[in-house]
Structure 1
């Protein structure tokens, strides 16, 4: 009988210890689960904010809109519109390089993107020197190419549509452009009939530094669309298409006729606004979570 009581006592002690171990194990799991959930919530909250630093570059095309025309030559016996300039828009390719600094918060980004932009545009006009004898006429064709370098300072707001590896976005903003350099290339060609025959000719191009002929700065509006692709290793590839819409005159009203060489070939700058469409490709790097142990890709 004593042996039975001893066995029963041992069984009760073992059952009590086992129950306490299960209780302690369950409590530990709850604490670990709560700690994990807290850590996950903190990570998700931390992911809502991010600084990005990146570089992108690509080609651009430019367009000018004429507000008012000017000319060196004023005809007296025919309409001045016949010697007016003809502009070719989006015809000459330029380039640009951009450093991007962006702050991300819940799908929105405030982005500052200082850019070196090289823009080009061209126009042409024609002068006809006519005599009473048609065989003595002279036709002069002028082709002008403008090369402009700007430091463009845009401030943008972006919005991401999706949360994941692939993120399309739209962007809107405003920019100021500071003139760095300008070059004008004028090519003169034509047909000379005054020498007794139709002699075609083409002169060597006239290349003139023309920075004084342009305004020191101008401003405009900027919009575009783009796509970020998260590589999963704290780096994003970026592709975007943007359009700059000029709002102010890029020509200098004070120095319009200040270049003797250009005025001598009949060239004077019109009042112009400059538009620009650009395609860029680049990389963005996060300034938080730079270690390999934590990825920037959202866990949502």
Structure 2
């Protein structure tokens, strides 16, 4: 929540400068290099390629088929964070190439529920679980950026490719004994955090595209942007799918589907010209 507020305040501040900057200044960025730091939040969504389950549905259990399926949480329910470095080179005033290596933690969650009936003793049992997966790794996007203006306040679009390399993955299951399509993480019981790393493929690659705006000053520039990424490769290791590295497969009937991951990030970047003595000349008053 604190990060959300900071980003909102900075957005308002940058927008408040835009009118004045558009009228008074132009920014000459050709052949300029910027280095900086970046960080923010991200949200993930799973695209299921193929379903997998440990239990086989039988005609006798057809009335509870929906309870055996995984219910994936929507994009903004799966939060993560990232931080890293920024590098850009402008080969034209409005065109530049951007490299943003970062360390990213993303997550995706799904819900499962199971119920059994003991026809001999007349007893019923049910359990509902929220499976939380956290994936961490190095993200390497290479983007081409096009600015709409050469003013001090400059909106832009960018797009390109990225590669991602897994570092580690963790999993936690939250559970209660009431099947009501809701597991409150604050009150539910939970397992310990288990190592999921061997279940996740080591690398991925895909496409990235985004929008943002930058405010240029003499000694620095600050950007707020959002990027969408889609990974081409499925993230679950098929060879280790049924290996019980976490200890959850038998006890909690857990096996992951095969899926691809989509990611939306919001990030703030603070960048500096490599040679500050040159930067004094980048802002020039417009004659118009």
Shorter-chain TM range is 0.7 to 0.9
Q: Structure 1, residues 83-124: CA drift from partner, whole Å, max 9, x if none?
A: 010000220321011211111022111111101111011111
Partner Cα separation in structure 1 for residue 29 and residue 81 of structure 2: 34
Q: What SS does the aligned partner of 2:249 have? A: helix
Change (3 A) 1:227 1:130: same
Distance, in Å, in 1 between the alignment partners of 2:188 and 2:137 is 32
* Aligned 8 A contact 1:138 1:191 in 2: no
Aligned to 1:256: 241
In the TM superposition, structure 1's runs of 4+ consecutive aligned residues that sit over 2 Å from their partners are 75-82, 131-135, 201-204, 292-300
The Cα shift of 1:219 comes to: 1.3
Deviations 1:230-260 (A, max 9, x none): 12x2210111011111221011111111125
CA contact (8 A) 1:244 1:276 kept: yes
Structure 1 residue aligned with 2:37, among 34, 55, 60? 55
1:87 is aligned to 72
Q: Which has the higher contact order (CA 8 A, sep 6+)?
A: 2
d(CA) in 2 for partners of 1:282, 1:255: 38
Q: 1:96 to 1:202 in 2, by over 3 A?
A: closer
1:74 is aligned to 2:61:
no
1:142-195, CA deviations, whole angstroms, 9 ceiling, x for partnerless residues?
Answer: 211001102011110000110121111100011111001100001232159xxx
Aligned to 2:204: 218
TM-score by length of 2: 0.79
Give the TM-score taking structure 1 as reference length: 0.76
Match of 2:232 among 240, 247, 267: 247
Deviates more, 1:66-75 or 1:157-166: 66-75
Which residue pairs with 2:101 in the alignment?
114
1:99 to 69, 74, 85: 85
Match of 1:164 in 2: 151
Gaps of 5+ in 2: 1-25, 180-186
Structure 2 residue aligned with 1:187: 174
C-alpha RMSD over aligned residues: 2.3
User: Would the aligned equivalents of 1:215 and 1:252 in 2 still touch at CA under 8 Å?
Assistant: yes
**CA 1:204–1:293 in structure 2 vs 1: closer, same or farther (change >3 Å)?**
closer
CA distance in 1, matches of 2:213, 2:29: 19
1:274 aligns with 2:257: no
After TM superposition, the structure 1 stretch with the greater mean CA deviation from structure 2, 117-126 or 203-212, is 203-212
Give 5+ residue unaligned stretches, structure 1.
1-43, 193-200
Comparing 46-55 with 83-92, greater Cα deviation is found at 46-55
1:227 aligned to which of 213, 230, 235: 213
Q: Could you report, residue by residue, the CA deviation over 1:272-296 in whole angstroms, capped at 9, with x for unpaired residues?
A: 11111111112111124x1177332
